[in-house]
A and B are shown apart, each in its own frame.
Chain A
Amino acid sequence: MDENTAIVRARDFLKRHGVTDIPIDVMTLAAAEGFQVLHKDLPDGESGSTVERRGQRYIWINANEPTQRQRFTVLHEIAHHVLKLPSVHGQAPSADDAQLLSSRRRPVEEVACDAFASECLVPYSVLKPCIDDRAFTVTAVQDLSVRFDASQHCVASQWIKASEDALAFVVANDRRIQVAFPSRTAKEAGLRIANGRMLPTGSAADQLVRASATDGPSSELDASEWSLADAAAHYMAYEEATNYVPKQRTYSFVTFEAVGNAPRVAVHAARDDDDDLLAPLTGELSWKPKR
């Protein structure tokens, strides 16, 4: 199952349960699907698990993790059930495999369940009006994170999917880029950011790590500092960032702005595995978000 199918199924799922308010009530959804959610003291790194015992389904959630992550985990586990995508049993991945799985090469079942959970927590139809004409900044992401009760990572990823601007959300660990999510417009403009590279020197995220600071000044660099693609020569990259100091993990919120005569974007010119995005929606709310 691809991500788009999972997203469509998530929208159907919310509709079927008559979900009309944000933040989404994940516990009610779990109960409606026949799950009993139990918060447990699980080991570090284990977000949760699902077990069926004598006909009753249980979701164990790691009570030590942030509540927003717990909410995501509940929906991820529900997704396995709703999408009928069983987890892979057996041996845990080796250290090398885990390295691979930490990037985009995760099992397709897990990627689909994450997409389902993200769409449930931050539904497109509610998010889209919130981001139209709004800059992709730390403050904006933090604000939406509170409103949706979803992690900044989840909000930023959904923002990237919904936006029509040239944006990128970049996650780096200890200044090395772990994964970069370009928006559709950024991809179509050829503005790709390679995983595994070091953050640009002088970028906001780079400065935060060097100063062991949580937040700080923004940066404005030539886009070519971020992307080696030829197209980057025609753009500037405005960036704001946050840093989770204990792990030196940074989130960069990057906006690309054309400088001078940037080549016209060739719509649908370049395709890759991430390009099968959903058909544009009307953006009309099917319900009123809770204020």
Chain B
Amino acid sequence: MELSGFLAAMREREELSLRGLKERAADLDHAYIYRLEKGDRTSPSVDVRQKLAQALRLSEREAQVLELLAEQSVDDALYRLMLTDLRTPWEDMRDAARLSFRGERPTTEEAWMKRIQMIQDL
């Protein structure tokens, strides 16, 4: 999952147009939001991220995901876990997302959960 896809998905969930989102986040240019959703712009500032989180009415976990996606992309299966498994501490999810691999890497939620368990055992 990339930041662009995440923003588009959250806006769709809120049933908002770009202009509608702009109305919720008054200072933000809707053209800039459009470029973020298209992936033409990445790494928005802390201020922009906070405004987007507020305007998109993100939960605490979703806001954490937004922060992470502003730094790097995340495997789709791990992304789904991040949003559905709220019992696993965010720190563990974040550390899993930052794992680097040589060779194959986990691609299923089950495989990621094993990896998170290994992280928790450290």
CB pair A51 B99 closer than 8 Å: yes
Given contacts A89-B97, A89-B100, contact A51 B74 (CB under 8 A): no
Q: Are A58 and B122 in contact (CB-based, < 8 A)? A: yes
Q: A20-55: which have CB < 8 Å to B?
A: 40, 43-53
> Which residues of B, 82-122, contact A by the 8 Å Cβ criterion?
95-105, 107, 111, 118-119, 122
Size of the chain A interface, CB-CB below 8 angstroms? 27
Interface string of A180-207 (1 = CB under 8 A from B): 0000000000000000000000000000
Which residues from B are CB-within-8-Å of A87?
100-101
Instruction: Give the docked Cα–Cα distance between A45 and B104 (Å).
Output: 5
Q: A45 to chain B: which residues have CB within 8 Å?
A: 103-104
Q: How far is the CB of B4 from chain A (nearest CB, A)?
A: 12
Q: Does A217 contact B (CB under 8 A)?
A: no
Interchain CB contact under 8 A, A52 and B104: no
CB pair A51 B102 closer than 8 Å: no
A80-93 vs B, Cβ < 8 Å mask (1 yes, 0 no): 10000011011110
Q: A53 vs B92: C-alpha distance in the bound complex, in angstroms?
A: 9
> B2 touches which one: A48, A62, A80, A90 (CB < 8 A)?
A90
- B15: A residues at CB distance < 8 A: none
**Interface contact B100-A80, CB-CB below 8 Å:** yes
B111, A43: Cβ atoms under 8 Å? Answer: yes
Give a binary string over A102-120; 1 marks a CB under 8 Å from any B CB, 0 the rest. 0000000010000000000
Question: For B98, what are the chain A residues with a Cβ–Cβ distance below 8 Å?
Answer: 51-52, 89
Q: Using Cβ atoms and an 8 Å threshold, which residues of chain B touch A53?
A: 95, 119, 122
The interface residues of chain B lying within 8 Å CB-to-CB of A149 are none
Contact residues in A for B119 (Cβ distance below 8 Å): 51, 53
Q: Which of A142-195 contact B (CB under 8 A)?
A: none
Closest to B69 in A: A90
Q: For the complex, what is the distance from the CA of A76 to the CA of B97, rounded to whole Å?
A: 20
Q: Is A77's CB within 8 Å of the partner chain B?
A: yes
Q: Which of A44, A48, A58, A90 meets B73, CB within 8 Å? A: A90
Closest 4 CB pairs of A and B: A90-B73, A87-B100, A45-B104, A47-B103
Q: List 11 A-B contacts (CB under 8 A).
A: A46-B103, A46-B104, A51-B99, A51-B119, A53-B119, A53-B122, A86-B100, A90-B1, A90-B72, A90-B75, A92-B104
Q: Footprint of B on A, CB under 8 Å?
A: 40, 43-53, 56, 58, 60, 62, 73, 76-77, 80, 86-87, 89-92, 110
Given contacts A73-B102, A90-B1, 8 further A-B contacts (CB under 8 A): A45-B104, A47-B102, A51-B119, A87-B101, A90-B73, A90-B74, A91-B73, A110-B102
